[in-house]
């Protein structure tokens, strides 16, 4: 499944939107590597880079949601933990010398579907929290 970030996925938080865009690009890079039948080590490097990037992004997104007192912050963290668990399971299975490219394609499809659904789910919550944060900041600056 090929996926792309689009304007409807905006959260209202530029840094998070940029990170989401980057994650979509990285998943697309994995799809491209699969389509080009890259070797195991190249695919492994892409998966590892995506996992590292996801961890950094999740930490920043979770911190932002916490600071804004977003109601879904904990559910978002749990979703992130589940996503990262998919990487651990994949790495374990991919370490088997008999692992097939179809396994990688299935993993990429799972990542794509999760990312689209998660960004759609979280973007509405982030947009609401960002709007509330901006309103509070504007009110504070008017009182000063």
User: Can you give the CATH number for the domain in which 89 is found?
Assistant: 1.20.120.50
Structure confidence by residue, pLDDT tens digits, 47-61: 999 999 999 999 999
Query: Distance from CA of residue 58 to its chain's centroid?
Result: 7
3-class DSSP assignment, residue 10: coil
- Those residues whose C-beta lies under 8 Å from the C-beta of residue 33, and which sit 6 or more positions away, are 42, 43, 46
Whether 8 has a pLDDT exceeding 90, the answer reads no
pLDDT score at 71: 87
Residue 129 resides in a domain: yes
Contact 19, 122 (CB under 8 A): no
Residue 5 resides in a domain: no
pLDDT score at 133: 62
Average pLDDT over residues 10-31: 92
Per the structure, the complete domain to which residue 76 belongs is given by 14-143
Contact 70, 90 (CB under 8 A): no
Contact 11, 68 (CB under 8 A): no
Whether 17 has a pLDDT exceeding 80, the answer reads yes
Residue 44 resides in a domain: yes
Contact 91, 103 (CB under 8 A): no
Residue 4 resides in a domain: no
Structure confidence by residue, pLDDT tens digits, 124-137: 778 888 777 654 44
Q: For a pLDDT cut of 70, what percent of the chain falls above it?
A: 90
pLDDT score at 143: 47
Residue 62 resides in a domain: yes
Banded model confidence at residue 140, pLDDT cuts 50, 70, 90: very low
Residue 8 resides in a domain: no
The total of structural domains in the chain comes to: 1
Whether 138 has a pLDDT exceeding 80, the answer reads no
DSSP of 15-74, one letter per residue? Answer: HHHHHHHHHHHHHHHHHHHHHTT--HHHHHHHHHHHHHHHHHHHHHHHHHHHHTT-TTHH
């Amino acid at each position: 499944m090929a996926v792309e970030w689009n304007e409807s996925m905006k959260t209202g938080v530029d840094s998070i939107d940029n990170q989401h865009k980057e994650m979509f690009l990285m998943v697309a890079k994995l799809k491209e590597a699969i389509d080009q039948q890259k070797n195991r080590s190249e695919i492994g490097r892409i998966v590892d880079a995506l996992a590292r990037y996801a961890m950094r992004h999740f930490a920043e997104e979770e911190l932002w949601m916490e600071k804004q007192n977003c109601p879904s912050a904990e559910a978002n963290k749990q979703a992130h933990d589940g996503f990262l668990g998919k990487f651990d399971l994949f790495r374990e299975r991919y370490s088997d010398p008999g692992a097939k490219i179809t396994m990688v394609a299935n993993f990429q499809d799972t990542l794509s579907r999760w990312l689209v659904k998660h960004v759609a789910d979280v973007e509405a919550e982030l947009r609401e929290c960002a709007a509330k944060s901006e309103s509070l900041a504007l009110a504070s600056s008017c009182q000063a």
